[in-house]
Chain A
């Protein structure tokens, strides 16, 4: 008998999410393996259980999205405030503990949240150095400040990113933790092979989401890579490696810009 398949593969089999060849191979295995048949049965049972109320679930989701979209549209001058509206309107559901709304949290050291509580900060807090510049705004309890290089940050400090650019391009923001681990922060929850976020116009942009620091300690960097062309994993990895090795600026990136802000976590 062939080797058993992972539960996740059986989920993909169930959703016909595999190539014909793989699908057939699993089908053959299932014919002779009761263990995999049991797992598949459990998946099918749960799938069916949820879908017994499919219409109600879909309606609830669409209502939440509609409310989110409405608040996005209203979010011209102060997106932070509108996020609060979006969040409270979803509170009406019975689940109290989703009050801290969450997006796909990514990080070893950081958790991503939608951000209910940043005030918009004065624009001159980041220095614009021809072409591109980046800044981090931090919020601790009621205090809000711009993160300066080598600042000391703490657990539960929330960070929000902003950039200013003289043209369109692709942006990738990553965190390099004290142990060298790299986590993509923008695009949202993206792996390293992301082409980057398309910023399609010059100007100042503030990322909607924020990250909340966990309790790990050590020296960390937030790295901003901005390029006129879609980014590649090699490019991102190379610069991450450089930063880990050298821990210094300036770094040059042909055809683009790179900037990092280092801080201590205590």
Chain B
């Protein structure tokens, strides 16, 4: 059974194909920033557009598909980090150990993945997402708010609360 779909399969496929052609490269840019690995980022891009195909009927972000794809892409990457961590706790420990052993000049950028792993142990999923949107994907407060369908004030409040932990995890504030 399942819910009836609003668009035909052919329409959905065509839409995804053209979205992939237009935006896959910048979704790759996003994924490679989070995952720090080109091959994994390529897989994440595939998974993002595959998920987008399934979710296309619920697309509700107005004119542009980009924020929506960013949201899916971010979630795909975070899930990959989490899943991989569960499967290989050892690996995660190694990354953490490496990160901890490096002096301060190891920037947040290089160890973003390790930092995200460590954040996942301390924060709930939504907070990790918000930190990723802001610090890793480089969205400003208004862009995060638009994407989540909440007020800018709510985002500011949340980011203020998370500021300390973000600093502890060497997340860089890029452009806000």
Contact = CB atoms under 8 A, between A and B. Distances in A.
Report if A and B associate in a common complex.
Answer: yes
B94 interface: no
Interface in A99-137: 100-109, 111, 114
5 contacts: A6-B138, A62-B13, A97-B84, A203-B1, A207-B2
B interface, by DSSP: helix, strand, loop or mixed? helix
Contacts of B78: 105
Given A46-B28, A97-B80, A191-B149, A201 B4 contact: yes
Contacts of A204: 1
Contact of A72 (B9, B55, B58): B9
Q: Determine the interface band of chain B, counting residues with CB < 8 A from chain A.
A: 35 or more
B125 interface: yes
Contact of A190 (B17, B52, B58, B79): B58
A197 B58 contact: yes
Contact of B125 (A17, A107, A192): A107
Given A50-B42, A216-B124, A194 B58 contact: yes
Interface in B52-68: 52-55, 57-58, 60-61, 64, 66
B45 interface: yes
B83 interface: yes
A12 B138 contact: no
A125 to B, nearest CB: 15
The listed residue with most A CB atoms (<10 A of its CB), out of B6, B29, B49, B147, is B29
B20 A46 contact: no
Given A51-B24, A95-B39, A214-B124, 14 more contacts: A17-B64, A17-B66, A42-B29, A61-B49, A64-B50, A68-B50, A75-B2, A109-B125, A111-B125, A181-B126, A188-B58, A189-B72, A197-B57, A203-B1
Contact of B58 (A61, A189, A199, A206): A189
Contacts of A11: 26, 29-30, 66
B24 to A, nearest CB: 6
Interface string A195-227: 101111101111111000010100000000000
Contact of B138 (A8, A72, A79, A197): A8
A87 to B, nearest CB: 11
Interface residues of A, number: 80
B161 interface: no
B157 interface: no
A15 interface: yes
Contact of A200 (B4, B24, B84, B149): B4
Interface string B86-111: 01000000000000000000000000
Interface in A17-57: 17, 36, 39, 42-43, 46-51, 54, 57
A238 B21 CA distance: 40
Which are the 5 A-B pairs with shortest beta-carbon distances? A7-B138, A191-B149, A187-B58, A47-B25, A46-B29
